[in-house]
């Protein structure tokens, strides 16, 4: 037996409540705050709150804590870098960590062509930079993105985001010349219906409708795509979809930008979700799990399109030396066994979720790659009507008992634990989710 999950006082306990009250008084009202978890420390897949409750974490701070909490190799790398120097500005000066990380990312990116790398502080900053690079490189203005997409929250990135209307409300006008098209959401596809095989209707509509009626493809700089939609509901497009998008881009000289901010760095059992299809994007974006929680992201671009000249883009903090050290240590761990663990544990987890689906009719769809698994909840399997209240009750009920979960899309449970999970963690999470679903039925 392990010492987690272990609830000693119903959360939020008295110490947690004090922090929540203070936070509510002073922090900006835009924060969501999914549930009153007040963290004191973490180790591996365990998170402890300020009242001594211990939780099993199956959300990893939104797929960020890839190596778990406090991995000794990551913490040692961070401490060593911090002891040396905290900052010098990688846009203006040199240090080994930045050169090493850029080389490392260029070498592990999909495809064989030479890459160049720009380091950022976040996912949204990577999206922002990619919009600029795509326009600069093609001298075209239009951008295509997908319904349900999430690319970040700064003004340019949020213009591509299309997951919740609230993220746009009151902030307009947003970036002009951004066009949204349907994503390959098999479970809710408007083109294939219930046909067993994908008809590629959602790709066809880009040419037959958008390009034919609204937009000259030669004005399009880039198509931004999440190879697996994250915030949109852990939506996995059918095999061949990314390749078809790649072909479409090649027909018109459009750049393919893969936003792997959530799906990258080993989470799906390969370094990048693009690797499952052997597709080489022109630009690949990473962030979230890259630094194990330290803020760092990257724009990895083919050298042939990395046309921006000296001084055309930059970042004061991007590629901070302490964050570079965390990212290098993270990549060592991901390549040194965690990617295989994501394959093994992902198989165990998805088999378990499929078994749950046999007992619980509220589970409409189960999909996943590695440790990026979505369990979509519905009111009725025949109508496929989403069940957001049920998702809410499942997440809150699990929190009360010591399991940290998070939803995505309208009513999908996202399972994105740290990549260090083991049999005990997976079986415990499955048992707890099954028990909650049994109660809620
Ligand atoms: C989270 C996310 C972003 C935004 O990253 P931030 O670091 O929150 O700015 C962009 N794209 C995808 C796919 C994401 O999941």
- CATH number, domain containing residue 204: 3.40.640.10
In a domain, 62, yes or no: no
Q: How far is the CA of 286 from the centre of ligand 1 (A)?
A: 9
Strand pairing partners for 43? 46
Q: Is residue 286 part of a domain?
A: yes
406 found inside a domain: no
Q: In this structure, which residue's CA is closest to atom 15 in ligand 1?
A: 262
Number of domains in the chain: 1
Whether 38 contacts 21, CB under 8 Å: no
77-133 confidence digits (pLDDT tens): 999 999 999 999 999 999 999 999 999 999 999 999 999 999 999 999 999 999 999
Say how far apart CA 168 and CA 388 lie, in whole Å.
Answer: 21
Domain span including residue 93: 73-334
Q: What is the pLDDT of residue 31?
A: 97
Residue 375 lies in a domain: no
What is the helix (H) or strand (E) element at residue 73, kind and residue range?
A: helix 72-84
Residue among 31, 62, 123, 145 whose CB has most ligand 1 atoms within 8 A, to mutate: 123
Helix ranges (DSSP H) in 85-189: 96-108, 123-138, 155-160
Task: Identify the helix (H) or strand (E) that includes residue 400.
Answer: helix 388-401
The residue to which tokens 């996202």 are assigned: 414
Is 416 part of a structural domain of the chain?
no
> For residue range 315-328, what is the model confidence (pLDDT) as tens digits?
999 999 999 999 99
End-to-end C-alpha distance for the chain, whole angstroms: 29
Determine, yes or no, domain membership for 397. Answer: no
pTM: 0.98
Residue 233 lies in a domain: yes
Residue 355 CA to ligand 1 centre (angstroms):
31
Half-sphere exposure of 417 toward its Cβ, with a 13 Å CA cutoff? 33
C-beta of 44 in contact with ligand 1 (< 6 A): no
Q: State yes or no: cis peptide before 429, omega within 30 of 0.
A: no
What is the number of other CB atoms lying within 10 angstroms of the CB of residue 181? 17
pLDDT at 441: 83
Report how far ligand 1's centroid is from the alpha carbon of 55 (Å).
25
Residue 274 lies in a domain: yes
pLDDT tens digits, the chain, 441 residues: what are they? Answer: 799 999 999 999 999 999 999 999 999 999 999 999 999 999 999 999 999 999 999 999 999 999 999 999 999 999 999 999 999 999 999 999 999 999 999 999 999 999 999 999 999 999 999 999 999 999 999 999 999 999 999 999 999 999 889 999 999 999 999 999 999 999 999 998 767 888 899 999 999 999 999 999 999 999 999 999 999 999 999 999 999 999 999 999 999 999 999 999 999 999 999 999 999 999 999 999 999 999 999 999 999 999 999 999 999 999 999 999 999 999 999 999 999 999 999 999 999 999 999 999 999 999 999 999 999 999 999 999 999 999 999 999 999 999 999 999 999 999 999 999 999 999 999 999 999 999 998
């Amino acid at each position: 037996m392990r010492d987690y999950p272990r609830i000693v006082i119903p959360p939020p306990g008295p110490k947690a409540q004090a922090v929540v009250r203070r936070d509510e008084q002073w922090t900006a009202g835009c924060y969501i705050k999914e549930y009153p978890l007040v963290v004191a420390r973490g180790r591996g897949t365990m998170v402890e709150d300020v009242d001594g409750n211990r939780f099993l974490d199956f959300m990893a701070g939104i797929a960020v804590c890839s190596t778990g909490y406090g991995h000794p190799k990551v913490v040692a790398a961070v401490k060593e870098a911090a002891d040396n120097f905290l900052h010098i500005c990688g846009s203006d000066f040199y240090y080994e960590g930045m050169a090493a990380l850029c080389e490392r990312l260029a070498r592990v990116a999909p495809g064989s062509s030479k890459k160049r790398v720009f380091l950022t502080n976040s996912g949204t900053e990577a999206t922002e930079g990619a919009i600029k690079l795509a326009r600069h490189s093609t001298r075209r203005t239009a951008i295509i993105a997908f319904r349900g997409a999430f690319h970040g929250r700064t003004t340019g990135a949020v213009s591509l985001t299309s997951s919740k209307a609230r993220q746009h409300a009151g902030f307009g006008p947003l970036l002009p010349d951004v066009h949204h098209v349907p994503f390959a959401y098999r479970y809710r596809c408007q083109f294939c219906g219930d046909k067993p095989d994908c008809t590629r209707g959602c790709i066809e509509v880009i040419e037959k409708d958008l390009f034919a009626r609204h937009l000259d493809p030669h004005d399009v700089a880039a198509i931004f795509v999440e190879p697996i939609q994250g915030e949109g509901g852990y939506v996995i497009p059918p095999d061949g979809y990314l390749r078809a998008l790649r072909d479409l881009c090649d027909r018109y000289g459009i750049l393919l930008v893969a936003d792997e901010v959530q799906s990258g760095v080993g989470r799906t059992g390969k370094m990048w979700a693009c690797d499952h299809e052997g597709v080489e994007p022109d630009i690949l974006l990473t962030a979230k799990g890259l630094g194990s929680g330290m803020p760092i992201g990257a724009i990895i671009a083919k050298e042939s399109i990395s046309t921006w000249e000296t001084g055309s883009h930059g970042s004061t903090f991007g590629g901070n030396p302490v964050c570079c050290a965390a990212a290098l240590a993270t990549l060592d761990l991901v390549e040194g066994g965690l990617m295989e663990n994501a394959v093994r544990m992902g198989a165990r987890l998805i088999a378990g979720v499929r078994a749950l689906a046999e007992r619980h009719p509220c589970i409409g769809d189960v999909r996943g790659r590695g440790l990026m698994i979505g369990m979509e909840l519905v009111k009725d399997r025949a109508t496929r009507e989403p069940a957001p209240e049920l998702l809410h009750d499942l997440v809150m009920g699990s929190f009360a008992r010591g399991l940290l979960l998070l939803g995505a899309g309208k009513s999908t449970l996202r399972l994105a634990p740290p990549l260090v999970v083991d049999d005990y963690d997976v079986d415990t999470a499955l048992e707890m989710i099954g028990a909650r679903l049994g109660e809620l039925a």
